[in-house]
Amino acid sequence: MSAATDRPMRLGLFLQGAGHHVAGWRHPEAQFGGENLKLIQGIARTAEEGHFDLLFLADGLTSSADAHPSFVARIEPIALLSALAMGTKHLGLAATMSTTYTEPFHIARAFASLDHLSGGRAAWNAVTTSYARSSANFSRGDHPSHDDRYAIAEECIDVVRGLWDSFADDAFVKDKARGVYVEPDRVHTLNHEGRYFSVKGPLNASRPPQGHPIIIQAGSSLPGQRLAARTSEIVFTAQQTLVEGKAFRDGLRGFAVEAGRNPDHVMVLPGVCPVIGGTEAEAKALYAQLQGGIDPAAAILLLNDRLGHDVSGYDLDGPLPNLPESDQLQSRARLLTDLARRENLTLRELYYLVAGARGHRIVWGTPEQVADALEEWFVGGGSDGFNIMPPFFPTQFERFVGDVVPILRKRGLVRGEYVGNTLRENLGLPRPANQFFPD
């Protein structure tokens, strides 16, 4: 690594069917990846050529045709990553699964399975599901409140980790002569009886190759940060400025220390949408073209979702109105509110900005300029790397890997090879001991 830093910049690819910019899919070069396996396989190979740490799939439990084309239809993440595991060797495979709408037994199995299939490359983005409309697909009454969702998540993650530890690493002796397939005293029955879950166990999966798949958290409210500090190895965020980013990361590292963990074992990866051109003018024109493709009706829906309030009745050329705190996405809403106040944005300006990358930072410029922007944040202590969100696929991502990554490598910021076999090894994280069989 360079003198600037003793740790490599981590890179995730946030893969999203129709690209991240809400109008990205309309670009002539854009292809549609939501259910297009061939395209996605090519993108995964590109990510691996760029030595990305992981490929990340977001997920939602509703079809939102009106908000963003990427959310209308998508292959279920575990299924898709199981398929992608077949054509890749080193790339980490991160899937989103909701702690609010999925049974911990199903979650534990899904990620244990992906970890087995991929030889130890699975990661779970544990989300609480912000959108209340999700509850309408699940027959179980109302969407729980923000606080309840996090209380459920805390317990759910503990149950999942307990289930991953159902078997000692050496439990499956498969001794043909003795007729012993699994050693009975190397199996742990969880017998969890908690506030939200009763789960007996054991899981019907041997211990995953990584011990525990990597856990990712993507909520930035205080309960979200506390959860991440206690349980997660990667945190996705959406800060807009280095000052915010650094404050967030410093705070999170502090919480991790309080939780008795090594703060270097919690990596913060803000989302960044790089709009890349051969020249600055080209990049600027591309950004303008993307913004010009935005459908104002869709943009306002996206903004409503992010704010957790309907602002469509307000004057579009006036300032953002004062809104009560949202129960949906507290931290994301606050970041947007801060941004609007700081930059004196009209509602129209704000929603055009949000529509771009759904509140994530957009960086447009030449490969050199994009590399500069990433380096500044990274070296400035605002992140441990980035979750790269190309405005559309595949060409913008190919440019990132072909043109930006080599610059980062020349500067000694990213590593030029995979250093381990599992995702955990590549990230320099220890394999957790089995809590029930610590030997």
Ligand X SMILES: Cc1cc2nc3c(=O)[nH]c(=O)nc-3n(C[C@H](O)[C@H](O)[C@H](O)COP(=O)(O)O)c2cc1C
- The binder of 38, among ligand X, a second copy, none, by C-beta within 5 to 8 A per type, is none
Q: Which of 131, 132, 169, 172 binds a second copy (CB under 8 A)?
A: 172
Measured CA to CA, the distance from residue 132 to residue 258 in angstroms comes to 32
87 touching a second copy, by CB under 8 A: yes
- The binder of 201, among ligand X, a second copy, none, by C-beta within 5 to 8 A per type, is a second copy
Which alpha helices (DSSP H) does 214-363 contain, by range?
A: 222-231, 242-258, 280-292, 296-307, 330-342, 347-357
Q: Which of 2, 5, 206, 346 binds a second copy (CB under 8 A)?
A: 206
DSSP string for 366-428: -HHHHHHHHHHHHHTTS-SEEEE--SSSSHHHHHIIIIIHHHHHHTT-S-SS--SSSHHHHTT
Among the candidate windows 176-184, 230-238, 374-382, 423-431, which touches a second copy by CB under 8 A? 176-184
**CB of 229 within 8 A of CB of 255?**
yes
Q: What are phi and psi of 28, to 5 degrees?
A: -55, -30
**CB of 227 within 8 A of CB of 157?**
yes
Q: Does residue 152 sit in helix, strand or coil?
A: helix
Measured CA to CA, the distance from residue 65 to residue 185 in angstroms comes to 52
Label the pairing between strands 198-199 and 192-193: antiparallel
- Minimum CB distance to ligand X, residue 2 (Å): 27
- Minimum CB distance to a second copy, residue 196 (Å): 7
Q: Which is nearer to a second copy, 47 or 229 (CB)?
A: 47
Question: What size, in residues, is the chain?
Answer: 439
The two tokens of residue 406 are 């080599």
- Minimum CB distance to ligand X, residue 351 (Å): 18
Of 65, 163, 48, 151, residue with least CA distance to 107: 163
Interface positions, 26-85, toward a second copy (CB under 8 A): 26-28, 30, 32, 35, 37, 60-63, 65-66, 69, 71-76, 78-80, 82-83, 85
Q: Which is nearer to ligand X, 142 or 417 (CB)?
A: 142
- The binder of 330, among ligand X, a second copy, none, by C-beta within 5 to 8 A per type, is ligand X
Measured CA to CA, the distance from residue 148 to residue 153 in angstroms comes to 8
Q: Round the CA-based radius of gyration of the chain to a whole number and report it.
A: 22
What value, to the nearest 5°, has the Cα angle with vertex 79 and ends 73 and 84?
105
Q: Does residue 436 sit in helix, strand or coil?
A: coil
Cα maximum dimension of the chain: 79
- Minimum CB distance to ligand X, residue 48 (Å): 21
- Minimum CB distance to ligand X, residue 74 (Å): 10
- The binder of 103, among ligand X, a second copy, none, by C-beta within 5 to 8 A per type, is a second copy
- The binder of 26, among a second copy, ligand X, none, by C-beta within 5 to 8 A per type, is a second copy
Q: Does residue 269 sit in helix, strand or coil?
A: strand
- The binder of 19, among a second copy, ligand X, none, by C-beta within 5 to 8 A per type, is none
Interface positions, 242-271, toward a second copy (CB under 8 A): none
181 touching a second copy, by CB under 8 A: yes
Distance of CA 111 to the CA centre of its chain: 15
Task: Please report, as ranges, the residues that interact with ligand X according to CB under 6 A.
Answer: 58-60, 96, 127-130, 218-221, 224, 236-238, 271, 329-332, 387
**Residue number closest to ligand X, CB atom:** 219
Other CB atoms within a 10 A radius of the CB of residue 395 amount to 16
Binding track over 126-165 against a second copy, x by CB under 8 A: -------x--xxxx--------------------------
- The binder of 96, among ligand X, a second copy, none, by C-beta within 5 to 8 A per type, is ligand X
Of 138, 21, 29, residue with least CA distance to 70: 21
Measured CA to CA, the distance from residue 404 to residue 280 in angstroms comes to 14
295 touching a second copy, by CB under 8 A: yes
Q: Which is nearer to a second copy, 66 or 280 (CB)?
A: 66
Among the candidate windows 108-116, 231-239, 258-266, 373-381, which touches a second copy by CB under 8 A? 108-116
- Minimum CB distance to a second copy, residue 296 (Å): 11
- Minimum CB distance to a second copy, residue 117 (Å): 5
Among the candidate windows 49-57, 107-115, 272-280, 404-412, which touches a second copy by CB under 8 A? 107-115
The helix (run of H) or strand (run of E) holding residue 29 is none
Q: Which of 86, 322, 344, 439 binds a second copy (CB under 8 A)?
A: 86
